[in-house]
Amino acid sequence: MAERPPLLVGRGVTRYFGGVAAVQDVDFEVRAGEVLGLIGPNGAGKTTLMNLISGLLPLSRGDLVFEGRSLKGLAPWDIARLGIARTFQIVKPFAGMTVRENVAMGAMFAREGHGVPARQALEVADEVLEMVGLADRRHSYTDELTIALRKRLELARALALNPRLLLLDEVMAGLNLREVGQLMELVKSINARGVTIIVIEHVMKAIMGISDRLVVLHYGRKIAEGPPQAVAQDEKVITAYLGRRFGQGKGA
């Protein structure tokens, strides 16, 4: 596969909470059009990294460069307008608004030049809902949806922003096997439309199945990166997940 140009580059990304580094000196890059999986044991700093990229947390050190622009110091809404959308681990659709209105929000506040006024936004929302398979529930209120549908809604809202980069934070959590499969297909189809995706997941089969490349974090540091097969055999990764001495002498 020819090298794609980098869409997002992280250089020395560091974030401290008090004296503890949740993320330390992480260098990484996300190439245009790929699905990058972000994995690592509990407390590795994955969600922190996602919060740094989406602007909910400021960088302690280092820089994040998106399409040549530094994200340092930008507010979350500015980052969203640049074309980076994210979902949350605990899905939080806007209560008190219908499914359609939730998704319309994304269309209203989308990337520069793609935002539309309120009335049009509802129509754009309909298109997105069609794409994710929620069209028949568009007038429902969010508390009427099952968890699997709420995840789709979360995804739809992010898509309505017309992002170049989509951050998915544990979007498979709580879904049964069939639902995981369905959502994986949806994520693949979104990627096929040219949206670059960074995924955090604990459902390992899923993330291994959809990622082009993986970055592995452990205690805030990057310990490995590469294609899924290679990473799964990396001694450091195995040690991180399964423990000391388990990884020794195994694989690469």
Partner 1 sequence: MGEAALHKQAPATGEAPRQPGGRPLLKVERLEVAYGEVQVLWGIDMEVYDRQVVALVGSNGAGKSTTLKAIAGALRPRAGRIIFDGEDVGGKPAAEAVRRGIVLVPEGRQLFAGMTVHENLMMGAYARRDGMRAIREDLDWVYSLFPELVKKRGQLAGTMSGGEQQMCAIGRGLMGRPRLLLLDELSLGLAPVIVDRLVEIVTRIHRERNLAILLVEQDLNVALAMAQRGYVLETGRLVKAGTAEELLADESIRTAYLGI
Partner 2 sequence: MSPAPARRGGVITAIALVVLGVLAALPPFYLSGYWVRVLTGLLMYGALASAINIMVGFAGYPALGNIVFFGVGAYTVAVLMVKYNTDFFVALVAAGVLAALYAMVLGAAVLRLRGAYFGIATIGINHATSEIVTNLDSLTGGGRGTIVPFYPGGIEEERMFFYFLMLGLMVLAVATVWLISRNRLGYGLRALKADQEGASVMGVNTTRYKVIAWTISAGLTGLVGGAYAYWLAFLEPPYVFDITMSVKTYIMAILGGAGTVAGPVVGAFALELLSELIWGRFLEAHMLVLGIVVVLVVLFIPQGFMNLAGRLVGLLRGRRRPGEVGADG
The residues of the shown chain that bind partner 1, judged by CB under 8 A, are: 41-43, 146-147, 150, 170, 173-176, 202-209, 228-229, 232, 237-238, 241-246, 250
Are the CB atoms for 98 and 138 separated by under 8 Å? yes
With vertex at residue 95, the alpha carbon angle to CA 87 and CA 46, rounded to the nearest 5 degrees, is 20
Cα 58 to the chain's mean position, in Å?
18
With CB cut-offs between 5 and 8 Å by kind, which of partner 2, partner 1, none does residue 76 bind? partner 2
Q: Within positions 149 to 168, which residues make up the interface with partner 2, using CB under 8 A?
A: 149, 157, 161
Nearer to partner 1 by Cβ, of 1 and 90: the residue is 90
Q: Largest alpha-carbon pair distance within the chain?
A: 62
Q: Which of 46, 48, 49, 84 is nearest to 202 (CA)?
A: 46
The one segment of 32-40, 136-144, 206-214, 223-231 that binds partner 2 by CB under 8 A: 136-144
The one segment of 99-107, 187-195, 205-213, 216-224 that binds partner 2 by CB under 8 A: 99-107
Q: Dig out the tokens for 227 from the structure.
A: 């294609």
For residue 248, the minimal CB distance to partner 1 (Å) is 10
Are the CB atoms for 211 and 198 separated by under 8 Å? no
Convert 3-36 to b/e letters by CB count within 10 Å (16 or more is b).
Answer: eeebbbbbeebbbeeeeebbbbebebbbbebbbb
Looking at the chain, the number of H-run helices and the number of E-run strands are: 9, 10
Q: Can you give 159-199 as a three-state secondary structure string?
A: HHCCCCEEEEECCCCCCCHHHHHHHHHHHHHHHHCCCEEEE
Residues 44-83, mask of contacts with partner 2 (x by CB under 8 A): ----------xxx------------------xxx-xxx--
Q: How many residues does the chain have?
A: 252
Q: Return d(Cα 110, Cα 93) in angstroms, integer.
A: 17
Nearer to partner 1 by Cβ, of 33 and 209: the residue is 209
Q: Return d(Cα 251, Cα 172) in angstroms, integer.
A: 29
Position 146 contacts partner 2 (CB under 8 A): yes
Contacting residue, 16, 25, 32, 141, with partner 2 by CB under 8 A: 141
Position 135 contacts partner 2 (CB under 8 A): no
Nearer to partner 2 by Cβ, of 108 and 237: the residue is 108
For residue 64, the minimal CB distance to partner 2 (Å) is 15
Position 96 contacts partner 2 (CB under 8 A): yes
Residues that bind partner 2 (CB under 8 A): 54-56, 75-77, 79-81, 85-86, 88, 92, 94-97, 101, 104-106, 108-110, 115, 117-119, 121, 136-137, 140-141, 144-146, 149, 157, 161
